[in-house]
Amino acid sequence: MKKDRQPSEAGVEAPVTSTKGVAAAVDEALTDYFRMMSGETIEGLYELVLSEVEPTVLAKVMEYTAHNQSKAAEILGLNRGTLRSKLKKYQLL
C-alpha cells in the first residue's frame, strides 16, 4: 500500500493511503499466471488467489498491530471471531 502525504487542516502532513500498488501487483501476477497457463485448463482461481494472498494480509496486519486481534479485526473490517477463525486456518495463531 502506498502512502502519500497530504496537508491536514492543522497544516501537518497526514498519510493518505492508496491501494493502486496492490491492484497493480495482482494484475501483473494474474497476467503472468494466465501466460504461464496458456492452453491449460484453469479451475478454482478465486480460491487459489485467496489462499495465496489472505495469509500474507493477515500476517502483516497482525504484525502491524503487535498481534492485537481487536485492532487487526477493525483494520480488516472483520469481527474478531472471524479473524480468529482465519488465523487458525492459516496457522497464524
Mean pLDDT across 67-86: 98
CATH architecture for residues 43-93: Orthogonal Bundle (1.10)
Q: What is the pLDDT of residues 18-58, one digit of tens each?
A: 557 889 999 999 999 999 999 899 999 999 999 999 999 99
Euclidean distance between CA atoms 62 and 73, whole angstroms: 9
Residue 16, CA atoms < 13 Å, CB-side half-sphere: 8
Q: What is the pTM (predicted TM-score) of this model?
A: 0.69
Provide the grid cell at 3.
502512502
Residues 53/60, Cβ–Cβ less than 8 Å: no
